[in-house]
Chain A
Amino acid sequence: MMNVLNDDRKDALTEIMNISYGMATAIISDSIEAHANLHVPKIHIVGTEGLENYVNSKTSKKNNYFVSVQVFINKLDGESIFIIDDKSALQVAGIFMSDADETIENEDDIVSSIHELSNILTSACVGKIAELLELEVFFHPPAVDKQSGEKIAEYKNFENFSKIIVVETVLDFRQEKIHGLLIFLLKESSFEHLLIALDKYIEQYEI
């Protein structure tokens, strides 16, 4: 087995992410009673050595960001990082809080909203991957932190991971486009499980 995400595997993974995003969007739109437009997620694979440059290319040193980190374990073993700039984070909080007839009083309200959003996205994406690929996975709760743009790519545990899947997200609620980066860091053994499972997924559609 070639240890790479070739075009067919990438197509299958994108399709699974698309299904996952459909679920996540429905969960959010149901909870805030607003329709959302679904966009095709863009997926990139980068090595651990390339993540810093990639994240830097998608973020600005001038902005501040909310970063949500969530650990998942079992056959899919890794971490997800959701990065959203503070302006988009405020929009997210506005959407979640206004639906609950509450106003944003402090940064904790924004952190709480990003906690909720990132948990829904990670659970939907990793959970659906696990379900469709018949792999079990367990989630730890996310931890949300505010970071400056200059520190955004200085992530602590790169050496524990070998492959990184980046999903560029656009959530489009009430005419507000909310951009975020969802990054999955996988350990080598998990990436191998993922490739085997993707091959099985592709095979089932061969005529």
Chain B
Amino acid sequence: MKILIADDSKIARKGVLKSLTAAFSGEFDYREASNGFEAVESFAAYRPDLVFMDLTMPEKNGIEALEEIKAMNPAAKVVIITADIQKKTTEIVSELGATGILNKPVTAEKISQIITKLV
């Protein structure tokens, strides 16, 4: 399985990776992106099976990146990981076709629940 982890914070990317390693028993390959622009570029080039993406990122935010990724591939599986816990944000990203939303900080348990649903 190919996974793209997009977050401007290195420690947040590490957190997703560690939680993923603990939660998912299968083999996976991954790439990292540190802003929304890189996330879209990397999605186009790498064609991941699953994307974990932050919302508040520089250059291009996660909502814009999600829109572009979904325009490229409406079936793309994008899980939003965000510190923004407003109900309206959840509605916006759901309407844009996000596969799931996890609130920061992520844990292996949260990742495990979403992976179980998706894989």
A residues with CB within 8 A of B = 8, 11-12, 14-15, 18-23, 25-26, 29-30, 35-36, 38-40, 132, 201-202, 205-207
B residues with CB within 8 A of A = 8-12, 14-15, 17-18, 21, 55-58, 82-86, 88-89, 103-105
A22-B85, A29-B86 known; A39-B56 Cβ under 8 A: yes
Least CB distance, A95 to chain B, in whole angstroms: 15
Q: How many A-B residue pairs have CB under 8 A?
A: 65
Q: Which residues of A contact B18 (CB under 8 A)?
A: 205-207
Contact check: which of A11, A23, A25, A35 meets B9 at CB < 8 Å?
A11
In the complex, the answer to whether A40 meets B56 with C-beta atoms within 8 Å is: yes
Q: Which residues of B contact A40 (CB under 8 A)?
A: 8, 56-58
Whole-angstrom distance between the alpha carbons of A102 and B88 in the complex? 25
Q: Which residues of A contact B83 (CB under 8 A)?
A: 18-23, 38
Least CB distance, A24 to chain B, in whole angstroms: 10
Least CB distance, A207 to chain B, in whole angstroms: 5
Q: Which residues of B contact A205 (CB under 8 A)?
A: 11, 14-15, 18
In the complex, the answer to whether A18 meets B14 with C-beta atoms within 8 Å is: no
Residue on A nearest B106 in the bound complex, by CB: A205
Least CB distance, A126 to chain B, in whole angstroms: 16
Residue on B nearest A7 in the bound complex, by CB: B10
